[in-house]
């Protein structure tokens, strides 16, 4: 806020270009097929997450706090994929590399808000899971609808606030008087603020702090929660039950790794890694989880399977009744 007031008082004029250029991959032939692959992943993500949302909405038995979190996960994944992949496909398959200044900031705001919410959703689901395992007899008393909705609302407000500060509060205070080429596959915050020709120290400092909040704290909480779950599962009497429980959570942990490891790699070494490595890491960690979440987090759940079968049987029965 002090930066904004100082700029207003001193009547500082910021140099804002008419457009930015998204560079994409550098020196890789036939890279268009990679974006076709991302488009295929996007279609699967839309179908899967839409199906999950429909099932939870139609089945009144799936109104527990857990499925509020699951619905929010599917909703966020759907929006996250839709805010990123169609625009990326438009840029690189139809050669629309130029994007206006305001459109680029808007694109960045929605992408980063929804990517942040993906991490926070994993925190909510981990919290629900650890409470169910550690306190099975008191779970319904401890984890209420109000608590889960409060957590989800808080994380949405936190994600929006952090990204607004980064984009509107700080990025708009930079002047772009040299290059306008963003070395990424979308309006990426790191490569973009490094193009500023005035002091970008506040941007760098806030980006580091935001990463700790968005990636560091959630990852630490999730790892801690799974340690607690592992400790609780170790007390299960039979070996077969322990193996069965472990297999259930292996898929969840793999999704956590797919999401967090590429982001951690990119943002720890963002200033030194090759732009191509950054693009591959970020595109995988943003495109794959929305496609895999409906499969691993939801469709392996017995309640969802039963609800889906019930809805399909009801639909088939109604069609037969209509014919006769």
| HEC readout, the chain | CHHHHHHHHCCCCCCCCCEEEECCCCCCCCCHHHHHHHHHHHHHHHHHHHHHHHHHHHCCCCCCHHHHHHHHHHHHHHHHHHHHHHHHHHHHHCCCCEEEHHHHHHHHHHHHHHHHHHHHHHHHHHHHHHHHHHCCCCHHHHCCHHHHHHHHHHHHHHHHHHHHHHHHHHHHHCCCCCCCEECCCCCCHHHHHCCCCCCCHHHHHHHHHHHHHHHHHHHHHHHHHHHHHHHHHCCCCCHHHHHHHHHHHHHHHHHHHHHHHHHHHHHHCCCCCCHHHHHHHHHHHHHHHHHHHHHHHHHCCHHHHHHHHHHHHHHHHHHHHHHC
> CA-CA distance, 131 to 229, in Å (whole number)?
9
> CA-CA distance, 57 to 73, in Å (whole number)?
14
pTM as predicted: 0.89
Reading the chain (324 residues) residue by residue, the pLDDT tens digits are: 444 444 444 556 788 999 999 998 888 888 889 999 999 999 999 999 999 999 889 888 888 898 999 999 999 999 999 999 999 999 998 989 999 999 999 999 999 999 999 999 999 999 998 998 888 888 889 999 999 999 999 999 999 999 999 999 999 999 998 899 998 999 999 899 999 999 999 999 999 999 999 999 999 999 999 888 888 877 766 777 777 667 667 777 888 888 898 888 887 776 678 888 888 888 888 899 999 988 886 666 777 777 877 877 776 666 666 665
Burial grade of 255 (CB within 10 A; 0-12, 13-18, 19 or more): middle
Q: Which domains does the chain have, with CATH numbers?
A: 19-303 (1.20.1070.10)
> CA-CA distance, 196 to 198, in Å (whole number)?
6
């Amino acid at each position: 806020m002090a930066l904004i007031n100082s700029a207003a008082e001193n009547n500082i004029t910021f140099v804002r270009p008419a457009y930015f250029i998204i560079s994409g991959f550098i020196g890789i032939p036939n890279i268009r097929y990679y974006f076709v692959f991302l488009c295929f992943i996007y279609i699967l993500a839309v179908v899967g997450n839409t199906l999950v949302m429909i099932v939870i909405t139609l089945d009144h038995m799936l109104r527990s706090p857990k499925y509020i979190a699951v619905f929010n996960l599917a909703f966020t994944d759907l929006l996250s994929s839709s805010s990123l992949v169609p625009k990326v496909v438009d840029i690189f398959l139809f050669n629309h590399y130029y994007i206006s200044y305001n459109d680029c900031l808007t694109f960045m705001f929605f992408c980063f808000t929804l990517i942040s919410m993906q991490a926070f959703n994993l925190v909510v689901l981990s919290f629900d899971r650890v409470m169910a395992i550690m306190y099975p007899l008191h779970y319904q008393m401890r984890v209420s609808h109000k608590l889960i909705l409060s957590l989800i609302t808080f994380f949405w407000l936190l994600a929006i606030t952090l990204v607004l500060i980064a984009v509107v509060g700080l990025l708009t205070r930079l002047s772009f008087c040299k290059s306008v080429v963003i070395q990424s596959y979308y309006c990426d915050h790191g490569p973009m603020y490094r193009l500023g020709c005035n002091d970008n120290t506040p941007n760098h400092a806030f980006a580091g702090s935001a990463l700790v909040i968005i990636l560091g704290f959630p990852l630490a909480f999730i790892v801690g929660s799974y340690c607690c779950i592992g400790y609780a599962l170790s007390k299960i009497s039979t070996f077969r039950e322990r193996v069965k429980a472990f297999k259930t959570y292996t898929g969840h942990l793999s999704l956590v790794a797919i999401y967090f490891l590429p982001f951690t790699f990119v943002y720890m070494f963002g200033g030194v890694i090759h732009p191509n490595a950054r693009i591959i890491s970020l595109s995988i960690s943003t495109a794959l989880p929305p496609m895999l979440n409906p499969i691993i987090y939801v469709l392996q759940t017995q309640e969802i399977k039963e609800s889906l079968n019930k809805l399909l049987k009801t639909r088939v029965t109604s069609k037969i009744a209509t014919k006769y």
